[in-house]
Amino acid sequence: MHVHVQAQNGEAKFWLEPTITLAQHTGLSQNDLNKALRLVQEHENEIRDAWNRHFSR
């Protein structure tokens, strides 16, 4: 399970399992990566719910 985060200057992919970790990124500053990580952590349950809804079809 993973999530992609896009920003104006690049993007990142975060694994959600077994823990939230950065998989890869392109063009994002460390500050942007920190913000993205914080957002993924804050919205983890919503992201997991959306993933499960999408892939249970």
Q: What digits encode the pLDDT tens for the residues 21-36?
A: 999 999 999 999 999 9
CA distance 17 to 8: 26
pLDDT value of residue 40: 98
The rounded mean pLDDT for the chain is: 96
pTM for this structure? 0.91
First to last CA, the chain: 16
The 3-state DSSP class for residue 24 equals strand
pLDDT value of residue 22: 98
The contacts of residue 47 (CB under 8 Å, 6+ apart) are: 3, 16, 40
pLDDT of residue 57 exceeding 80, the answer is no
The 3-state DSSP class for residue 56 equals coil
Give how far the C-alpha of residue 4 lies from the chain's centroid of Cα atoms, to the nearest Å.
Answer: 5
